[in-house]
Amino acid sequence: MSVFMSEEPLLQVHNVTRYYGDRIGCSNVSFDLFPGEVLAIVGESGSGKTTLLNCLSTRLAPTAGAIEYRMRDGSMRNLYQLTEAERRLLMRTDWGFVHQNAADGLRMNVSAGANVGERLMAVGDRHYGNIRATADDWLGRVEIDSDRIDDDPRSFSGGMRQRLQIARNLVTRPRLVFMDEPTGGLDVSVQARLLDLLRRLVADLGLSVVIVTHDLAVARLLSHRIMVMRQGNVIESGLTDQVLDDPREPYTQLLVSSILQV
């Protein structure tokens, strides 16, 4: 069934602004994100896209503006009025965060199985056999062999680490996942595999995703909608293929024309 049926937004962002002293991080960003929607935030380094992502994911308090999220009980809550306990519960159950550098999102000194099982244990799962079986299932879904379940991620390649990080995030069936350049720093062939995996998981699980990337090919493959940022402002937004095939703003035209054609 179509994922575009739901009429109630999952996330509502109102005029989010973040200053670093006098300098603008991001300015007056507003949008709604609906269940099952994938939104790409694109722009070059320093455009404010990571600042915005951190504000959205409660990792960085905005200077002004409000962000509301629809909790599992259906109520809309202002994210910055949640208690710390509520915020943490949200982060480890209903949300995921995929870091560019997998080491930032993994526990490098514990096994792959424990990395995936951690969220389950955090929400009270106390049966070792079940935790391990679930971890094994998820490793399979991200194409990591079962016999690596007891290995530390330190012994994994970059692409495997990233896939492990994704499994670790998705094990609690989150509804919203934030991704910060998830394919950055990987070889092209590794990137392709990861992108395909992400595309399938996002579609199968009906995830809502906010993905920050400077790679327009990633945005085209994964996202439904796109926001182009420059100097802290959203300068153009819309349907992904519309913005990429018919860019309107000078900066977007420059971005699109800068892609190397293979």
Choose the binding region for other proteins from 40-48, 61-69, 120-128, 170-178 (rule: CB under 8 A): 120-128
Torsion angle (degrees, nearest 10) of CA 74, 80, 82, 85:
130
Choose the binding region for other proteins from 11-19, 105-113, 160-168, 172-180 (rule: CB under 8 A): 105-113
Q: Which residue in the block uniquely carries the two structure tokens 């493959």?
A: 221
Binding flag, residue 182, other proteins (CB under 8 A): no
SS3 209: strand
Binding flag, residue 132, other proteins (CB under 8 A): yes
Cα 2 from Cα 4, distance rounded (Å): 5
Beta carbon nearer to other proteins, 75 or 188: 188
CA distances from 76 to 33, 67, 82, 176, 252 (A): 13, 10, 11, 14, 34
Beta carbon nearer to other proteins, 101 or 111: 111
In the complex, minimum distance from the CB of residue 238 to other proteins, in angstroms, rounded to a whole number: 6
Binding flag, residue 248, other proteins (CB under 8 A): yes
Cα 118 from Cα 227, distance rounded (Å): 33
Single out the residue of 27, 37, 142, 175 in contact with other proteins (rule: CB under 8 A). 37
Q: Tell me if 95 sits within 8 A of 176, measured CB to CB.
A: yes
Binding flag, residue 261, other proteins (CB under 8 A): no
Closest alpha carbon to 185 in 167, 152, 168, 162: 162
Cα 185 from Cα 151, distance rounded (Å): 23
Binding flag, residue 246, other proteins (CB under 8 A): yes
Binding flag, residue 154, other proteins (CB under 8 A): no
By CB under 8 A, the count of residues binding other proteins is 50
Beta bridge partners of 234: 229
Binding flag, residue 262, other proteins (CB under 8 A): no
Q: Binding residues for other proteins, per CB under 8 A?
A: 1-2, 4-5, 34, 37, 84-85, 88, 92, 107, 109-111, 113-114, 117-119, 121-123, 126-129, 131-132, 149-150, 192-193, 195-196, 199, 221, 224-225, 238-239, 241-242, 245-246, 248-250, 253-254, 257
